[in-house]
Amino acid sequence: MADREQVAALLRRATFGPTAQEVDAAARVGFAATVDRLLSPRAADAGARQTPPPELGADPAAALTKESTREQRQRARQEQREQARRLVLWWLDRMVAADDQLGEKLVFFWHGHWATSVQKVRSAVLMRGQLDTLRRYGRGELRDLATAMVTDPALVLWLDGHRNTRKAPNENLARELMELFTLGPGHYTEADVKAGARALTGWTVDRATGTAVFVRRRHDPAAQAILGETAAYDARSLVALLCRQPAARTFVAGRLWRRFASEAVPPPEDLAGTAAVPLLRAAFSHPAFAATAGQHVKEPVEWAVGAMRQLGVRPSALSEQKRKQLLSGLDAMGQVPLRPPSVGGWPSGAAWLTTSSLQARARLARLLAEAATVDARGEDELARLLAVDAWSPRTRAALAPIRGAAPRLAAALISPEYTVC
């Protein structure tokens, strides 16, 4: 693989979608230096700083009481939906604008890992707080991230942690903490889940302050046997126990590999750890990484944000109608930020390559192409613009007769070469 193709492949995985200028800069300094720049940004993120989060105000549900009327509840729900919509549009805008592309993509990865939906949480304020937590801890150790997340108010509501008391333990959070977030299936027992649920008792959510609150009388202080170790666990000590298990090292490494490398190429056996940045450095530098080129199917958000970065489109600059079309297009493709379909997150790989998703992708490609602020006349110039190494003869033949910048861009965006990376 040529040096330019090697760094381009790296950037396609580590960012939402590199611009031609970013590929040029990476090719000049080389693969190793590009990995260093991605993992250890040397400057403050000017793009993110210029994209401040929206002022959401108070959670509309915080003002509701038992005496609130039906109309007041409906109005609060409508305000909640509008706040969530504004937060999604802001995050898409930040994804496009961020200079620290790997950092922003890590936040989106962890959002899918700790999959929490605003549709059940019903609070954009709490969801914004969760994004802040993922951004603060997402580059470091799983133990620190998981400790913050098990008492994150949005996750507590999402997995019914506020209903988990010593008198009536609720196992949802404990089960998903073990199966989906730290260990993976087969590395715990039902008895471990039941004991883990008791360790997590006592937490509730104060919507007025947007915080999780520990209520001691709701907590079970009794010693529990979990994974062969007995202690009087609480949320912090339970997380510490889970994250020091050997299964956590391979589980997290596998999740990062499949997201940033390939679903088709298995994770290397020697790839293990619980800290994101060291794991990604090892993955990007591993000999097996080169074999993953073209093996990753772009997720809808990844595809759309990458296209907007390369075409010079900002969601914040679109008309209200176009913003609605952007969100409805992502919805039709099956992926809207803050709305994962289940606690298991979104599907991956070939699951995105359906007939219906292709039709939705084509409609959204036309919208983005019409909003583009850049142009590419020939096929080679178009490939450079979209960070595609080369078109296949079939794609080149399909693009050649298309007249008009927008139709050509739209066709290129749904090509096989652009759909995968």
Both 328 and 259 in a single domain? no
Both 278 and 319 in a single domain? no
Both 258 and 320 in a single domain? no
The yes-or-no verdict on residue 246 having pLDDT over 60 is yes
Arithmetic mean of pLDDT over the chain: 95
Residue whose token pair is 């008309």: 319
User: Of 292, 312, 330, which residue constitutes the final position of a domain?
Assistant: 292
The yes-or-no verdict on residue 247 having pLDDT over 70 is yes
> What is the model's pTM?
0.96
Q: Look at 67 and 230; give whichever has higher pLDDT.
A: 230
Is 167 inside any structural domain? Answer: no
pLDDT of 376 reads 84
The yes-or-no verdict on residue 131 having pLDDT over 90 is yes
pLDDT digits (tens, 9 = 90+) for 185-222: 999 999 999 999 999 999 999 988 999 999 999 999 99
pLDDT of 214 reads 97
Both 354 and 287 in a single domain? no
Distance between CA atoms of residues 243 and 237, nearest Å: 10
Percent of the chain with pLDDT over 90: 88
Distance between CA atoms of residues 245 and 225, nearest Å: 15
Under DSSP, the state recorded for 386 is T
Both 335 and 393 in a single domain? yes
Both 357 and 333 in a single domain? yes
User: Of 258, 292, 326, which residue constitutes the final position of a domain?
Assistant: 292
Question: Which of the four pLDDT bands, split at 50, 70 and 90, describes residue 58?
Answer: confident
Both 284 and 311 in a single domain? no
Both 310 and 280 in a single domain? no
Question: Which of the four pLDDT bands, split at 50, 70 and 90, describes residue 347?
Answer: very high
Residues spanned by the domain of 349? 297-419
- Count of the separate structural domains present in the chain: 3
Both 270 and 384 in a single domain? no
Average pLDDT of span 140-168: 97
Is 36 inside any structural domain? Answer: yes
Both 302 and 415 in a single domain? yes
pLDDT digits (tens, 9 = 90+) for 25-52: 999 999 999 999 999 998 899 999 999 9
* Contact criterion met (CB below 8 Å) for 91 and 239: no
**The pair of three-digit structure tokens given for residue 44, joined into one six-digit string:** 């403050």
pLDDT of 115 reads 98
Is 333 inside any structural domain? Answer: yes
Both 313 and 373 in a single domain? yes
Q: b/e per residue, 347-367, with b = 16+ CB within 10 A?
A: eeeeebeeeebeebbebbbbb
pLDDT of 1 reads 53
pLDDT of 399 reads 96
Question: Which of the four pLDDT bands, split at 50, 70 and 90, describes residue 65?
Answer: confident
Is 219 inside any structural domain? Answer: no
Is 105 inside any structural domain? Answer: no
pLDDT digits (tens, 9 = 90+) for 77-100: 999 999 999 999 999 999 999 999
Is 148 inside any structural domain? Answer: no
The yes-or-no verdict on residue 2 having pLDDT over 70 is no
**The pair of three-digit structure tokens given for residue 83, joined into one six-digit string:** 């706040």
Both 270 and 339 in a single domain? no
pLDDT of 264 reads 87
